[in-house]
Amino acid sequence: MNFISWAFVLLFLPVFAYRLIFGRRKIEPGFIAVTLVASTIFVMWHVPAYILIMLTSIGVDYVAARLIYREPDGSRRRKLFLVLSMTTNLLLLGFFKYANFALGSVERMLHSFGALKAVPRLDIILPMGISFYTFGSMSYTIDVYRGRLKPVRRFRDFYYFVTFFPHLVSGPIIRAEQFFYQFPRVRRPRLKVFNHGAFLIVRGLFLKTVCADNIAGVVNDHWSSGYQPHASSATSLLLTVLFAAQIFYDFEGYSSIARGLAFWMGFRFPLNFDYPYIAASFSNFWERWHITLSRWLRDYLYIPLGGNRGSEARTYANLLIVMVLGGLWHGAAWSFLAWGTMHGLALAVERLLGMSRPAAKPRIVRILWYFVVQAVVLATWIFFRSPGFGDGRAFLKNILRFELIQPPHAVVVACLFLGPIVVMHLYAFMVEHEIVTPLSNPMKAAIAGLLLLAVVTLYGQSTDFIYFQF
């Protein structure tokens, strides 16, 4: 089940109807009960038994937070309860996401020593949204430990937060402190609320079904050709650009729908993407791409490691550690490790060169650095999309050969769907530099109508959201 399936529509409609008729303040027991049932069905749709995994994580964090709150600051028992919460979450996440990766690494190591016996793999299906709800749940116990948040009294309320289905599968990663303060806040379903939510949903559907899905088939069909010796540099480069657009369309589309659905239900989700392809530095790219993950890693990993408060060498090490772990968060593969490592090295080099905040630099330097940033981002997407590091390296090598062979017709046609991403980013750039004004409500309404027309006429073959695999 996903946001673009009829099953989800049938699941959401009763919740939305109850919200309109009875749940005007969104804290009525009936509305809460209907939402909890819908969220539970959504969780169990994939593998019903996996609700037990989520309940284990939720139960441990709920109890640990209450025990942490009862202990005085600085006590050993307080730290012990936090460690219990963190260990439980990370063990569950590690087992399901990384067990087979670890077994494969052991097998390759044994082969390097001449042992040719195969290491058996585990028959594991990844629980839906485990990376996202684990980080959300962990934020709760960490913030209680830090004194930023009081533990909730009722288990029901914590269960509601973790399983809230609009953000469950692919985010945005919602922290407890961003959610619980909204729980009792009145947000009646006025027309203004409905219109804003509808615009976000239609925008997300357009990005996913029209843009991402029309590109996905072409990228899936032709990507492996980039690994072949003497592959066309032009085709490989176009496929890289297409995938960069596809993953933006796909993930921003999901995030936009999630934000719109949550808005209809009375909750405001944080922005998850802010036009990353106009970023003029690597640090700014991560302020714009998957913002909720970037800020989570910053607040719960980078700053506790020391951030930039220590020596320069320590700061570079912290950047590299955070980005390597960010890469591994996306999946258990050497290609993800390479993707994260390259971004970590890019951030370190940028800081070394004093380009992390390029505004003070001459305009020509800023322009040149922008192209460096975006070229490196494109190169790293190659490794993100490729099944192995060697495949990504072969793909990049073919681009750098500059052998211009006519790309396949399907690849050229798919480039038409790059138009929306160019227009979106160009307009965002002009708004940020006050060249034009933000869209007015009548303009949003007109654009939503055009996007909806495109959704029903130009939709591509349906594919899963890319970030479902994480």
pLDDT by residue for the chain (470 residues), tens only, comes to 677 788 888 899 989 888 888 777 777 888 889 999 999 998 888 889 989 999 999 999 999 999 999 999 888 999 999 999 999 999 999 898 888 878 877 777 777 777 667 778 787 888 888 888 999 999 999 999 999 999 999 999 999 999 998 888 777 999 999 999 888 887 777 888 889 999 999 999 999 999 999 999 999 999 999 998 888 999 999 999 999 999 999 999 999 999 999 999 999 999 999 999 999 999 999 999 999 999 999 999 999 999 888 888 999 999 999 999 999 888 778 889 999 999 999 999 999 998 887 777 888 999 999 999 999 999 999 999 998 888 999 999 999 988 778 889 999 999 999 999 999 999 999 999 999 999 999 999 999 999 999 999 988 787 776 666 65
Q: How far apart are CA 278 and CA 285, in angstroms?
A: 8
> What's the sign of the alpha-carbon dihedral 179, 265, 276, 437?
negative
Q: At what angle do helices 363-385 and 334-352 cross, to 10 degrees?
A: 170
Of 167, 196, 290, 330, the catalytic one is 330
Which residue type sits at 185?
R
Q: How far apart are CA 385 and CA 280, in angstroms?
A: 23
Those residues whose C-beta lies under 8 Å from the C-beta of residue 396, and which sit 6 or more positions away, are 379, 382, 383
> Which token pair is 266?
């009375």
> Which token pair is 367?
């322009």
**Checking phi first, is residue 147 left (phi over 0); if not, alpha (psi -120 to 50) or beta?**
left
> What's the sign of the alpha-carbon dihedral 330, 335, 339, 342?
positive
Q: Is 111 a known active-site residue?
A: no
> Which token pair is 45?
């749709």
Q: What pTM, to 2 d.p., does this model score?
A: 0.92
Residues in the chain: 470
> Which token pair is 312?
């320069």
Measuring CA to CA, how many Å separate 56 from each of 42, 128, 134, 371? Answer: 17, 15, 11, 47
Cβ-contact 376, 342 below 8 angstroms: yes
